[in-house]
Amino acid sequence: FRPSCLMFISKGRASDTLESKTAGEIPAFRLSTMVENAYRTTRILPPIPLIKLESKIQSRSSFLLQNVVSANGEIKFAGAGIIKGETSKMIGFLNEEELDGLAWITGKGKGGLVKSFDKKTGQLIVYEIESMKSHIQPHVKGDNISFDVHIESVGRLSESWMTSGSAFNNQFLQNAQKTSEKKVKYLVTNVLEKMQTKYKVDVAGFGNQLRIKQPRTWMRVKENWDQTFSEVPINYDVKLTIKDYGASGSKK
């Protein structure tokens, strides 16, 4: 295999997943095109080539591999498989919504939508991501480790559902912003619970930030980091800024 070969995971036989009913379609090329469209959604992970996969396994750090499924002869991405660093074995999956939450934590998403509902009006709020960034800050006091995560994003509201004049009402905009922020907080809480409570693995890069900013502490805890990570407090805040209106063509 070439070291640049991209790696994915699938349930069952990979050969079954790669079957296509579309005449002339080469499944591998289809996957490559889907990776190139990652900028349109928070549900596609950054691609992992074979050479990077080898380094992750050797470092014994937990990581994710994009899951590939075939439905009615059509290939698509659906969540990700969790590879535990200690054993180099798959221990479970994150679904698409949990990948959304992970993208907000890492700040690596380049596009996509956040859909929520205004409680008072029942109005659908569609926030289109134009940019996002996240800052993970570790804190060490004695033997205690904690993290603060600061999440920011700039985006726009989709125009397809707006009633006449509602977009320019300041109170409406504030409510839309708060409603969208609440949805992002839910996504983050959901995936953190999966990582820390159910699977007890760090696949969001918290350990890497600790290694960079607190190297002495990292040397002390790195051998059993996944277990340590499952017990550390993680605080976060989310700030979304709506700067524009109208459809940008982003889909999800």
pTM score, whole prediction: 0.86
pLDDT confidence of residue 185: 97
Residue 36: pLDDT band by 50, 70, 90 thresholds?
confident
Tokens matching residue 141: 């006091």
Q: What is the mean pLDDT of residues 33-48?
A: 80
Please answer whether residues 140 and 214 qualify as being in contact, where contact means their C-beta atoms are separated by less than 8 angstroms: yes
Asked if residues 139 and 149 have their Cβ atoms less than 8 Å apart, the reply is no
- Give the lowest-confidence range in 4-8, 67-71, 146-150, 163-167: 163-167
Tell me the pairing of strands 144-157 and 89-94.
unpaired
Per residue, what are the HEC states of 54-109?
HHHHHHCCCEEEEEEEEECCEEEEEEEEEEECCCCEEEEEECHHHHHHHHHHHCCC
Whats the size of the chain, residue-wise? Answer: 252
Give the mean pLDDT of the chain: 87
pLDDT at 75: 82
14 φψ region: left (φ > 0), alpha (ψ -120 to 50), beta (else): alpha
Per-residue pLDDT tens over the stretch 4-31? 888 999 887 887 777 766 666 677 777 8
For position 22, what pLDDT does the model report? 65
Residue 7 DSSP label: -
User: 122 falls in which pLDDT band (50, 70, 90)?
Assistant: confident
For the chain, the domains span: 14-245
pLDDT at 21: 64
Interatomic CA distance for residues 229 and 57, integer angstroms: 19
What is the per-residue pLDDT for 250?
42
In the predicted structure, residue 170 carries a pLDDT above the cut 70: yes
The pLDDT tens digits of the residues spanning 229-241 come to 999 999 999 999 9
Q: How confident is the model at residue 71 (pLDDT cuts 50, 70, 90)?
A: confident
**201-224 tens-digit pLDDT:** 999 999 999 999 999 999 999 999
Is pLDDT at 228 greater than 70 in this prediction? yes
CA angle 242, 95, 7 (to 5 degrees): 105
8 A C-beta contact, residue 97 and residue 190 = yes
The closest of 71, 95, 102 to 81, measured between CA atoms, is: 95
pLDDT at 76: 84
**pLDDT for the residue 164:** 45
| Three-state SS at 230 | coil
pLDDT at residue 171, rounded to an integer: 77
Instruction: Give the model's confidence band at 166: pLDDT under 50 very low, under 70 low, under 90 confident, else very high.
Output: low
What top-level class would CATH report for the domain 14-245? Answer: alpha beta
| CA–CA distance, 144 with 132 (Å, rounded to integer) | 29
pLDDT of residue 251: 42
Tens digit of each residue's pLDDT (9 = 90 or more) over 92-120: 999 999 999 999 999 988 889 999 988 87
